[in-house]
Every structure is written in structure tokens, then in C-alpha cells.
Amino acid sequence: MTDDTTNTSRHVSQWVDADSDEVYAYAADPANLPRWAAGLADPKLAGVEVEFAAHNEFGVLDHVVTLPSGERFYNPMRVIPAAIGERGCEVVFTLRRLSGVTDAEFDADGAAVAADLATLRALVERSG
């Protein structure tokens, strides 16, 4: 039996005024991660590895984060075009609640993801 806080997800999204292919390319480039994913830029996380899904035409940016301890976390993420031939897109990150995570911790994780996606938006919109 699982408690009611396990196996829950929260979808955190951000609209971006840029071409979805441009957003996808920027977000999928591991060299750009420290610029927009604050948690992965933390020097205390030296040795963290991030492995993205293979490049694809559907905007899927699912990735696995492996900590130096060997612990691995699967993170679903996607760039969704506004419409065919239309500028703009939505970036959606699915935050999974891990066992033992309190409501406050889950809310803080959601706020951190929202801040990261806002940073991603600002960087891509500024460069475009």
C-alpha cells in the first residue's frame, strides 16, 4: 500500500515567445544547462550527469539525472509548439513526487522548476 503523496505529479509549464525548435535546441544542449537549470549549476553537485532523450522532432526532452552517489532520477520534459507554423511554444516539466517528500518540499521543488523555466524563457527570448 502506498500513501497518498507517493506517485503524484505536477506539471509545471512556461510559455515562450520563440520558435519551438530554437527552444528545444537551447534546452537540449548540455552546455546551456548551468545557465537555466539552477539546481544543476550548484557547485555542490559536481559530478552530476544529465542524459537527454535522443534528439527527436517531437520536442521530447526527457532526461535522467545521475548523482555522484549513483542515484538516478527520471525527469519528463517537453517543448510543445503553439500550433503548426505559429511562433511560440510551451515548455512543460513533469515534477514527480518522491517517497517521503513533504508538501512543503514538493511545493519548493515546483517553485524551483518554475523559476528554471522562467530563466530558460528569458534566455531564449533575449537571444531571439
Distance (Å, whole) CA 76 – CA 53: 10
What ranges make up the beta strands (E) of 1-128? 9-16, 49-52, 63-66, 72-75, 77-83, 86-96
Higher pLDDT residue, 15 or 46? Answer: 15
User: What is the mean pLDDT of the segment spanning 82-86?
Assistant: 90
Going from N- to C-terminal start, the domains of the chain cover 9-127
* pTM confidence score: 0.88
Share of the chain above pLDDT 90, in %: 68
What homologous superfamily does CATH list for 9-127? START domain (3.30.530.20)
Tens digit of each residue's pLDDT (9 = 90 or more) over 29-56: 988 988 999 877 665 667 788 899 999 9
b/e for 94-115, b at 16 or more Cβ within 10 A? Answer: bbbbeeebeeeebeebbeebbb
Residue 45 per-residue DSSP state: G
What is the average pLDDT across 65-75?
Answer: 89
pLDDT score of 69: 86
pLDDT tier, 1 (very low <50, low <70, confident <90, very high otherwise): very low
Higher pLDDT, 50 or 11: 11
Report whether pLDDT(5) > 80.
no
